[in-house]
Amino acid sequence: MMRKTSVILLSAATGAALTLFVTQPRAVFMGSSARAATADTYRQLNLFGDVFERVRSDYVEKPDDTKLIESAISGMLTGLDPHSSYMDAKSFRDMQVQTRGEFGGLGIEVTMEDGLIKVVSPIDDTPASRAGVMANDIITNLDDEAVQGLTLNQAVEKMRGPVNTKIKLKIIRKGQDNPIDVTLVRDNIRVRSVRARVEQDDIAYIRVTTFNEQTTEGLKREVANLSNQIGDKLKGYIIDLRNNPGGLLEEAVTVSDSFLEKGEIVSTRGRNAEETQRRTAHSGDLTKGKPVIVLVNGGSASASEIVAGALQDHKRATIVGTRSFGKGSVQTIIPLGSGNGALRLTTARYYTPSGKSIQAKGIVPDIEVLQDVPDELKSRTDTKGEASLRGHLKNDGDEKTGSQSYVPPDAKDDKALKLAGDLLHGIKNSASAAPTPGGDNKTTTDKPKAAN
């Protein structure tokens, strides 16, 4: 008998993706020491039961039994490491929506401002964009209910819903004397995890913001679009993974595979040697051997680090920026039955093709580039990294904390982006002593915004 589970990578992002089959425990004969250990475990469980009953009977106010159990489970898991946790049924549903990158909604990115919902941007070809919703619009009411007093997540949840259902928005727009009432019909919305543009007329710039179920498809689409736009003068690709918190293991593998012809991409190793799994590349480089630069920083975590590590170890790309976050563990999502939520449990570490664990260390760029940070932001632009998290999985050798995560809002001030362009144009400088982008493919040994 086998149980179906889901495996993800996590940093700040969550998701269920690659399906693994895990055999249930087999019946075994126990020796005296094993029996003694089992007996001790049951004594501890009896202790938990005693405490639970004492709280139920003697606490100053009548407690909620469900919340007591959930809190106990949550405490057990969070005591393991920073990425293991319990998700109640709602959190589990939200996680599934996030990792699918697809949901019933309106197609607007929003944030909270002065207790009201502010539109950051409408997503192209969605109900919101078709109805004329504009950036900087302020949403004051949802179906005649005031937004004031709701959290951002509560407002987003109200705007999401089944496809083909209606919702009415009351909007205040600068320059308009009266509020605007708009009725929208929810549609199937896909979160854009990949955005792209042409840089300097001959460079394909592709920004990957998260690894959800739409990421590889989005990457392929943008590579095709940009190669057609630029044509024969295309110098190469800049893949921007800065401040990408991670996501799905399977998407990290397929994105890496898009640039490789062969070789190992990543291995995952659990407690037992027989649980080791290796993922390898298939023939077919999406970019047809063009040079690749990958941008990373202190906010690049988990799935981002798998991609950067695989392309770096295979000398397929030059890594530019600052040391990444250092999250080198894999989480398995284990559903607990209908309505009971799920466990997010750390079950393995992952290793780059050369056999390195980046846990609490991060990916070290081939070329380090520090940005010029405005004085008012200098105390808030460094990410402490995995090594600073209480209870993190330890790694052999020196662990690393602290790495710059600032990305200038204006591309002209972006020193890492400029250096990447110079490298692709063959411009040499004192900082560019690094592997040539697009070298051979041999393995070496050497983060509030919401869409709805």
Phi, psi of 178 (to 5 degrees): -115, 150
Known catalytic residue at 327:
yes
User: Given 313, 324, 403, 405, which residue is catalytic?
Assistant: 313
Set 302, 304, 324, 403: catalytic member: 302
**What values do phi and psi take at 51, rounded to 5?**
-65, -45
* Per annotation, catalytic residue among 327, 361, 400, 414: 327
φ/ψ bin of 100: left (φ > 0), alpha (ψ from -120 to 50), beta (otherwise): alpha
Q: Would you say 106 and 167 are in contact if contact means Cβ atoms under 8 Å apart?
A: yes
Active site residue 313: yes
Pairing of strands 292-296, 236-240: parallel
Q: Are strands 116-122 and 203-208 parallel, antiparallel or unpaired?
A: unpaired
DSSP conformation letters of 278-340: EEE--S--TTTT--EEEEE-TT--THHHHHHHHHHHTTSSEEEES------EEEEEEE-STTS
CA distance 47 to 70: 17
Phi, psi of 373 (to 5 degrees): -100, 130
Q: Which two tokens stand for residue 398?
A: 């020196």
Catalytic residue numbers read 302, 313, 327
